[in-house]
Structures are given as C-alpha cells and as structure tokens.
Amino acid sequence: MVLAVLLAISASILGFHLIQNSDPYIHKVLSLKGDSVRGNAIFQINCAGCHGFQADGRVGPSLQHVSQRKSKISLIHQVTSGQTPPMPKFQPSTQEMADLLSYLEKL
C-alpha cells in the first residue's frame, strides 16, 4: 500500500515536470543565455518593491540563494503564474526571463 502511494506520488511529480518541460515558453527560456546585468534591471523595476533592492526581503521573502532552493522551472512558474498571492502575475519575454534567472542565480 505504501509503495503504491509512493509510486503514484513519484509518477505525479514526474508527469508535472514533463509537462512543464514541454511548455514552449519554458523550453525557449532555458535555451537562452541570460544576462545578469539586464536581469538586475528587470528585478529592480518589477520585483524590488516587494523583495527588496538587494533581494533580501521586504513584503515578499528574501530571494538570496533562491536558485539553490528552487529549480529554474520552478522559478519560471513562480514568476509567470501569479499563483502565490500577493505576488502578481508577470509575463516577461523569454529573453527577459532568462536574464532574470541569470540575476537570481548570482544572489
């Protein structure tokens, strides 16, 4: 019984990642080389109001070392989904998202 539950959970997680990996937006973002300087500018304009200018948290949580806690796919989903209120839905271009990921990896 426990094994069946663990297998079901594992299959669900794998299926979730396969679906996300097949998303054309995510696939394109992951294929691009990001620029952390441009990513910092995007962060300052769109994210710093809640996450702080140094990404150390204000209203929103600290994003220091976030790339060690979350995968790139999870970060993309977090930014674009708006599923974690009060974080707004943000739809950067694929290059802007790649740049933002590059900046977040340097935190």
Per the domain annotation, does 77 fall within a domain? yes
Per the domain annotation, does 9 fall within a domain? no
b/e code 35-47 from CB counts within 10 Å (16+ = b):
bbebbbebbeebb
Query: Which tokens hold the place of 29?
Result: 């973002």
CATH of the domain at 36: 1.10.760.10
Per the domain annotation, does 57 fall within a domain? yes
Model pLDDT for residues 23-62, shown as the tens digit of each residue: 999 999 999 999 999 999 999 999 999 999 999 998 899 9
Per the domain annotation, does 4 fall within a domain? no
Across 96-102, average pLDDT: 98
Of the pLDDT bands very low, low, confident and very high (cuts 50, 70, 90), residue 104 is very high
Name the average pLDDT for the chain. 86
DSSP-derived secondary structure letter, 59:
S
Contacts of 4 by beta carbon, 8 Å cutoff, 6+ apart:
none
Per the domain annotation, does 2 fall within a domain? no
Per the domain annotation, does 10 fall within a domain? no
How many domains does one find in the chain?
Answer: 1
Residues of the domain holding 64: 29-105
Residue-level length of the chain: 107
